[in-house]
Amino acid sequence: MYARIGRFEAVKGKEKELAAGYKTSLDILRTQKGYRDAILMIDADGNALSVTLWDSKDNLETPTATETVHKMLPLVSPFQKTKPEFTICQVAVKDRPA
């Protein structure tokens, strides 16, 4: 499993709007082959972290998956103070509730 991690800063006072836009964008992600899960975290200072999980690096890096990220950005970019910086990591450990 692989993760695309995006780090950025939210516009102060627009954290709820950012979360709503992110939630809406998940409908786009769900159409992608290999997409598994997503999470958005925002700390008290507005630092945000988006993590999407994919079944393989190939599915994460397909042109279609990359285009999907670009389709999602307009839904969240009005609430981002900084552009996201993306990293791709292999998931070493993931737990599921029993």
- From residue 63, alpha-carbon distances to 6, 26, 44, 69, 82 in Å are 18, 18, 34, 10, 24
What domains are defined for the chain? 2-90 (3.30.70.100)
Give the closest residue to 19 by CA, choosing from 63, 96, 75.
75
The 3-state secondary structure of 20-34 reads HHHHHHHHHHCCCCC
Could you report the per-residue pLDDT of 26-62, keeping only the tens digit for each?
988 898 899 999 999 999 999 999 999 999 999 888 8
- The string of pLDDT tens digits covering residues 54-98 is 999 998 888 776 777 778 888 888 899 998 899 999 999 988 876
